[in-house]
Structure 1
Amino acid sequence: MSSRSRLITLIAAGAAVVVVAAVVLSLVLTRPKETPLPDPVAATVPVALQADGLPKDASVGVILTLGQSGEPGSEYNRAAQGAVVAAQRFAQGGTPVALRAENDRGTEDGARAAVQALSGQGVSGVVITSTGPQAQAAAQKAAELGLPAILPYTEPSAAAPTTWTTGPTATAVDTALQSALAGKTRVLIVADGAAAPASVRSVQALNLENFADVAELAQEAAVQTGDQFRPLAEDAPEGTEPVRVAEPADALVVSAAAPQRLARLVQALQSRDVSVPMVLPAGAATPAFATTLAELDGTASGQLVTVTPAAGDATALQQDAQGRGMSAFLSAVRLAAGNTTITNLTGDAPFSADAWAADARSHDAIVALVRAAALAGSSEPAKVGAALGTLSFGPGEGLAGPALDFSRPAALTAPAVPAYASAQDLGLRPPDEAAPRVVWVPAPAGS
């Protein structure tokens, strides 16, 4: 690294420390925090990353579902821009890696064709950032070709020796969901095109298909939570006073077939002054949910709860190794956004346009594949996959999110936890007046 690059890196890291210190003083949570235990990772995590042994021709493929209008599988295509940040960090460290992006077009055939195309381009592995059937098809095709594949946002439909997920398993999500609902005895399910988890015991379920529109559904939900009066019967005597339900629901589990529809449902419930906690599926943590909620003038507040690994911006406030890893990642986001020559994965827009959404999961998937290629000293997929299967990583290796152990198909080592929405600007990303403000703050362990 040149002296100038080293200086820029140190300045950015120092700035991040100052910003985080200021935010720690201002961000007040209503739940107690545990004192973090000391850890052996260095007091700072460098912004620039190095990968000694990485072949000069190293490249990694990224598969996306493109679209901004609610196309199934596209909910993470802006979050996937974290891959760009990882590539930039390695370039800063003098070990550049090329990223090759392909659009799966939202279909299974398109996904298989995307994997085939990337294999033909000589990539060492692929990161599949889509969800749904096309993500499963892509994973299966990669396994057939012996191409290492990481799925940050979903699980593969079938296990394969060179296929990993770095998100929480369905079991982990269910455990966190039960934690989020602890102490709630009258749970109401409100759904739009998606079934609630089978483990949720509810007193009632309201489905949009049984109502004229989302407003009518939200009104009935508000009645059931006691936030609105029961409507009077048409034949009620004059002067009859409206009443509230005798045993109101004390929590909602809100589910929808897409993050955009979830945001629409949440905003409708908020407009009816529903006051109980709303527990939301994983789609709430997507850029698509945040964007749609902002467009509808919905509110990001602690009333909204989702379940997710502690991998969001708020972890930069932690005084531990993961906090330092996330701070370094966010410093890299700011540096990349400030360079007008850096584009998004598809090269059709500046990275800065998606800097608000680029996430740790896509970043960490790239870091893992690059580290494996460096250990193997080869770009051959078979060697990279074999090396990756022996590795585990944490902040010391450049991860921004929780530690990953690739000796098992579900590489995430941290549990999913309840996380609470906040509209507070943490000041850790580049200023962007157009960006929605939804930060998910994980509940402290044991809370």
Structure 2
Amino acid sequence: MRTRHGLRVLAVALTAGLAVAGCTSPSQNTSAKAPDPVRPEAVKLGAHPVPANTHIGIVVSLKSAPGQGSEWLGNAGGAEVAAYQYKLGGRAVTLDVVDDKGTAAGATAALRTLAGKEVAGIVAATSGSHLTDALAKAATRTPVLLPYETDAAGLPDNVWLTGPDSGQVVKTLRTVLAQRNLRRPFVVTTDQQPLPGLDGAQSGTLGPQSGGDALRAGIEKAARSGLVDSVVVAAPAEAQASLVAALQGTKLDLPVLLGADAVSPVFADSLAQHGSLAGELTTVGLDAGDVTALGSDDHADRAASFFAALRIVAGDPQVQDLFGQATFADQAGVADIRSHDAVVSLVRAVATAGSTAPDKVLAALSGLRVTGSDGLAGPDLDFRLHSAVADQDVHVLHATSQNPSVRPSAVGSPLKLFWFAEPSHEES
């Protein structure tokens, strides 16, 4: 995990990490368009032979209660970028998309429907208790990858997490608190998003749809009395934004560490509606966002290739969104690497198996390690473990409203916040 000196690092990290791109500071006008990166070209994903008629299932939640997956709907567009790259490489990969309606019954039906179609594997681009309940009830033998779910407890052996799990999130948050000498956090959770192993000096519960004002007074009183020195929040994206907005009104100089859902575009949208995008925002996640592409290492090259492909796909008016209801350009503002890499991993397993039969793909995936040479745009994934992301690839992330301009300028629902990893000591 990357670390950094100091409590207030956003401005310093922004200057060090983004100044090379000629960007403005978060407090300045961020609408200026920087030149599109030209390095490297979009990767054509076709190095491994893929059987004809390869179908990958995609489960999304068009609508849901807070914390039940609809916050990732736009992010799932990264799956289409992967399919397009395979097409460029002469390999046809078809995405079969099903809406689970954000309910356990809907998700169970979606998983069984896709298994009945004998798709090679499924990317469940949603999250929440409705999904984990459905995975247990569906009882299929089709491999399922979860790019956005963090709860690895009790998952069937045909299911893998390809993003940070809750244990990694808690471990990283505890490390951050220790490094910053923050020993008295006020820990805010929901019933569905606990933080096991992270004890607070005080704690509170935030309802999925409740406003942050309900907890603001208690946190403010505890902070002014010296009983707490920080806030840690694990809640659905909208609820986190509500609490952050409420705390912004207190003028407290109180570090706030956010849960993994904060990287969802819904968090930024909600915060923009109720508060301000300025200030320090810190969470935990993968170094696989827009800002990553501005670097100069292998990880930057991978990310830059993804965004190069995304720009190509967004510029093709024949490519539609996942449901065929609009052009892909409408999704290009938020489509992400995590859904892209889930598709790449399943297709790599298909190639290894030499078959699209789900049982053979499942057997192949179980011992597979997928890397950048296979087409991943984010960190390597080790499917010998059901949490496929390595601990060292789970980072402290900071946010800026400054647009790195690696996406096409004319897209629907553009991102409002961009997350970047803390530089290491050597880079500080």
Q: TM-score, with normalisation over the residues of structure 2?
A: 0.83
- 5 Å-filtered alignment, 1:102-181, equals 102-140=98-136, 144-154=139-149, 155-181=151-177
Q: CA separation in 1, counterparts of 2:189 and 2:166?
A: 19
Percent identity reads: 34
- 5 Å-filtered alignment, 1:2-401, equals 24-26=20-22, 44=40, 46-67=42-63, 70=66, 72-140=68-136, 144-154=139-149, 155-182=151-178, 183-190=181-188, 197-207=195-205, 214-215=212-213, 217-226=215-224, 245=225, 247=226, 249-256=228-235, 258-301=236-279, 303-401=280-378
Q: CA, structure 1 residues 372+69, in 2 after alignment: closer, same or farther (shift >3 Å)?
A: same
Equivalent pair of 1:123/1:381 in contact (CA under 8 Å): yes
Query: Which whole-Å deviations, capped at 9, do the CAs of 1:124-159 have from their partners, x for residues lacking one?
Result: 1101122123322443356x3321111112244435
Structure 1: runs of 5+ lacking an equivalent:
1-20, 30-42, 227-244
CA RMSD for the aligned pairs? 2.7
Q: CA, structure 1 residues 207+402, in 2 after alignment: closer, same or farther (shift >3 Å)?
A: same
Deviation at residue 347 of structure 1 after TM alignment: 1.7
Q: CA, structure 1 residues 271+343, in 2 after alignment: closer, same or farther (shift >3 Å)?
A: farther
Q: CA, structure 1 residues 216+52, in 2 after alignment: closer, same or farther (shift >3 Å)?
A: closer
Which residue identity is paired with 1:259?
A: A
Query: Which whole-Å deviations, capped at 9, do the CAs of 1:240-278 have from their partners, x for residues lacking one?
Result: xxxxx4x3633211333x211211111111122232211
Q: CA, structure 1 residues 289+335, in 2 after alignment: closer, same or farther (shift >3 Å)?
A: same
Q: CA separation in 2, counterparts of 1:443 and 1:412?
A: 18
Q: CA separation in 2, counterparts of 1:386 and 1:425?
A: 42
Equivalent pair of 1:104/1:134 in contact (CA under 8 Å): no
Equivalent pair of 1:23/1:317 in contact (CA under 8 Å): no
Deviation at residue 69 of structure 1 after TM alignment: 6.9
Equivalent pair of 1:300/1:437 in contact (CA under 8 Å): no
Query: Which whole-Å deviations, capped at 9, do the CAs of 1:218-248 have from their partners, x for residues lacking one?
Result: 244334434xxxxxxxxxxxxxxxxxx4x36
Q: CA separation in 2, counterparts of 1:346 and 1:330?
A: 22
Does residue 416 of structure 1 match 2:394? yes
Deviation at residue 444 of structure 1 after TM alignment: 2.4
Which residue identity is paired with 1:275?
A: D
Which residue identity is paired with 2:98?
A: E
Q: CA, structure 1 residues 193+349, in 2 after alignment: closer, same or farther (shift >3 Å)?
A: farther
Deviation at residue 409 of structure 1 after TM alignment: 1.6
Deviation at residue 363 of structure 1 after TM alignment: 0.5
| Residue equivalent to 1:437 | 416
Q: CA, structure 1 residues 295+333, in 2 after alignment: closer, same or farther (shift >3 Å)?
A: farther
Q: CA separation in 1, counterparts of 2:349 and 2:255?
A: 43
Equivalent pairs counted in the alignment come to: 390
Which residue identity is paired with 1:442?
A: A
Q: CA, structure 1 residues 193+389, in 2 after alignment: closer, same or farther (shift >3 Å)?
A: closer
Q: CA separation in 1, counterparts of 2:414 and 2:64?
A: 15
Query: Which whole-Å deviations, capped at 9, do the CAs of 1:136-185 have from their partners, x for residues lacking one?
Result: 2443356x332111111224443544321112222211110012212113
Q: CA separation in 1, counterparts of 2:58 and 2:137?
A: 14
Deviation at residue 89 of structure 1 after TM alignment: 0.9
Q: CA, structure 1 residues 179+370, in 2 after alignment: closer, same or farther (shift >3 Å)?
A: same
Q: CA separation in 2, counterparts of 1:353 and 1:222?
A: 41
Structure 2: runs of 5+ lacking an equivalent:
1-16, 26-38
Deviation at residue 50 of structure 1 after TM alignment: 0.8
